[in-house]
Amino acid sequence: MTDRPRQKIGFAQAMPFWLTLGIVPLALIGATYGGWFTAVVPVYSILVYSSLDALTGLNERNADPETPDEMLFWYQFLTLIWPPVQMFILFGTIWYAAHTSHLSGLELGVLFFGIGIVTGTIGINYSHELMHQKNKLERWLADILLASVLYSHFRSEHLRVHHTYVGTCRDPVTARYN
Q: Is 3 a member of any domain?
A: no
Q: pLDDT, tens digit, for every residue of 7-27?
A: 667 888 888 889 999 999 999
Give domain status of residue 111, yes or no: yes
Task: Tell me whether residue 53 is in a domain.
Answer: no
In a domain, 117, yes or no: yes
Average pLDDT over the chain, rounded to an integer: 89
What is the pLDDT, as a whole number, of residue 117? Answer: 92
DSSP alpha helix (H) spans, 23-159: 23-33, 40-56, 73-98, 105-117, 124-131, 136-148, 153-156
Q: Rg (Cα) of the chain, in Å, rounded? A: 19
Is residue 177 assigned to a domain?
A: no
Number of domains in the chain: 1
Give residue-wise pLDDT tens across range 31-60.
Answer: 999 999 999 999 998 898 889 889 888 878
pLDDT tens digit sequence for 109-155: 999 999 999 999 999 999 999 999 999 999 999 999 999 999 988 88
- What is the per-residue pLDDT for 63? 76
pLDDT score of 2? 47
Band (6; pLDDT cuts 50, 70, 90): low
Letter string b/e over residues 52-86, b meaning 16 or more CB atoms within 10 A of that residue's CB: eeeeeeeeeeeeeeeeeeebeebbbebbbebbebb
Tell me what the mean pLDDT of segment 146-165 comes to: 89
Domain contains 115: yes
CB 100 within 8 A of CB 92: no
57 located within any domain: no
Residue 127's domain comprises 11-45+69-165
Q: Is residue 176 part of a domain?
A: no
pLDDT at 65: 79
Residue 41: Cβ-neighbour burial (10 angstroms; 0-12, 13-18, 19+): buried
